Amino acid sequence: MPGAVSLLTRGGARRQTSPGSNGREASRLAHDRGMANQESPEDARSGPDGFGEPTPFMRATGLHLNEIGAERVTGWIDLGPDQHQVFGIVHGGVYAAVVEESASFGAGLAVRAAGQQAVGVSNTTNFIRPMSTGRVMVEAVPLHQGRTQQLWEVRITRAEDGKPVALGQVRLQNIVLA
């Protein structure tokens, strides 16, 4: 199927989505398989072109994605000493990077079928609650998806009680791939 996104599910099955779905099928597939609520979920994966594959930078931040879609991206991070700043709490740059990465995946998938890519223009991340260790959940959703720009909101919450840890917004520009 030309322009389709190929998804590799948790069980190893490959599934194609149509270009017109803009990733909604990817989001629904992950949700239907219960990947968003796994205690130790595996990373979401996609087709042979690598869209959705964890990058070395993602691995450095500890971000694991459960669901990648044009309307929602979810994941988690197990926080610990590797992400600490000098005072023993998680460095705010980890949260800012995860906010940008999560929004970029969703925004990129939203415009991919049109031959475009979304690139970050601004990232505003507010740090609400300090953490040293533990799992946090990540959820990114679009607030606006226009012809030329998108605005995504990303919430990072403690897995144990859902309390907010960080809240970010990323504005992205939709550009034509060269």
Spell out the domains of the chain, with CATH numbers in brackets: 5-176 (3.10.129.10)
The mean pLDDT of 52-77, rounded to a whole number, is 91
Q: DSSP characters for 78-111?
A: EE-GGGB-TTSSB-HHHHHHHHHHHHHHHHHHHH
Please give the pLDDT value at position 82: 94
Please give the pLDDT value at position 55: 81
Lowest mean pLDDT among 11-25, 47-61, 107-121, 162-176: 11-25
- Angle 138-142-144 from CA coordinates, rounded to 5°: 155
Please report which confidence band the pLDDT of residue 54 belongs to, taking 50, 70 and 90 as the band edges.
Answer: confident
Task: Tell me phi and psi for residue 129, to 5 degrees.
Answer: -140, 125
- Residue 171: is its pLDDT beyond 50? yes
Give the model confidence (pLDDT) of 2-39 as tens digits.
333 433 333 334 344 444 444 444 443 333 333 333 34
Strands (E), 128-163: 134-145, 149-158
User: Nearest CA to 142 among 109, 113, 116, 103?
Assistant: 103
- Residue 1: is its pLDDT beyond 50? no
Give the model confidence (pLDDT) of 135-144 as tens digits.
999 999 999 9
Please give the Cα distance from 82 to 143 (Å, whole number). Answer: 32
153: how many CB neighbours lie within 10 A of its CB? Answer: 16
- Report the residue count for the chain: 178
Please give the Cα distance from 33 to 31 (Å, whole number). Answer: 5
Lowest mean pLDDT among 4-8, 52-56, 120-124, 163-167: 4-8
